[in-house]
């Protein structure tokens, strides 16, 4: 567990970010989806940029955005990763990856999810992110049945996402999968949209990294 990568998503407030990065998460996620309550805005914030250390990689979350807008946002925000949370095709993912950007492709999982469809994405995505299926794009704040991931036999490493909160430490300790790479946290640690409880984030990250 202490080798798991940790992504804190839905960040926006510079002071809040400053507190969260003290725990040195591996990734910070910024949502570039207009309909999200955590939309950060397309214009980069100098205040935000100033408080993110070089060790923490910046992830841009996009939902069915134009290729041109993604690449422009990656450039002006100096993003390391494009996380695609919509109905993006393998060809779209390939174009993002060919630009030199790491690609996270999110998939919403429920009992009907067909894991075989991931084969088409296996060569054009660096990581998958498995989230809970909801009515609209983006997170639901709810967990899905992690046992469903026993059906994932692919080679692409993945992040576990979907409603993970401080109370899930024990469940995470008991979860295992050969391709499990990291954890994505967001609403389960929020005081309000885009505002994280810094102490809970620090406690969680410390707890994850202290266990083998």
Q: Which residues are known catalytic residues?
A: 9, 131
* Alpha carbon distance 180, 87 (integer Å): 23
Strand partners, 183: 6, 160
Q: What is the C-alpha to C-alpha distance for residues 126 and 29, in angstroms, rounded to an integer? A: 16
**Residue 138: which of 106, 102, 104 has the closest Cα?**
106
Q: Tell me which residue has tokens 């923490």.
A: 56
What's the token pair of residue 24?
Answer: 């040195």
CB atoms within 10 A of CB 148: 15
CB atoms within 10 A of CB 45: 16
Q: Under a CB-based contact definition with an 8 Å cutoff, are residues 171 and 145 in contact?
A: no
The count of other CB atoms within 10 Å of the CB of residue 15 is 11
What contacts 190, CB < 8 A, 6 or more positions away? 10, 196, 197
Lookup: tokens for 66? 């134009």
């Amino acid at each position: 567990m202490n080798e798991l990568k940790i992504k804190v998503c839905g960040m926006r407030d510079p002071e809040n970010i400053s507190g969260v990065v003290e725990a040195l998460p591996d990734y910070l996620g910024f949502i570039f989806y207009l309909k999200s309550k955590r939309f950060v805005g397309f214009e980069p914030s100098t205040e935000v940029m100033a408080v993110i250390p070089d060790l923490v990689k910046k992830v841009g979350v996009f939902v069915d955005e134009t290729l041109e807008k993604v690449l422009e946002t990656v450039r002006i925000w100096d993003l390391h990763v494009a996380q695609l949370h919509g109905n993006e095709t393998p060809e779209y993912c390939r174009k993002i990856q060919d630009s030199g950007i790491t690609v996270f492709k999110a998939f919403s999982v429920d009992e009907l999810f067909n894991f075989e469809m991931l084969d088409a994405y296996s060569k054009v995505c660096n990581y998958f992110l498995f989230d809970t299926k909801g009515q609209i794009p983006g997170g639901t704040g709810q967990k899905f049945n992690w046992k469903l991931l026993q059906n994932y036999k692919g080679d692409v490493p993945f992040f576990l996402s979907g409603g993970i909160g401080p109370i899930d430490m024990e469940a995470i300790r008991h979860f295992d999968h050969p391709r499990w790479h990291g954890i994505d946290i967001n609403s389960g640690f929020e005081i309000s949209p885009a505002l994280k409880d810094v102490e809970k984030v620090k406690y969680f990250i410390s707890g994850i990294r202290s266990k083998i």
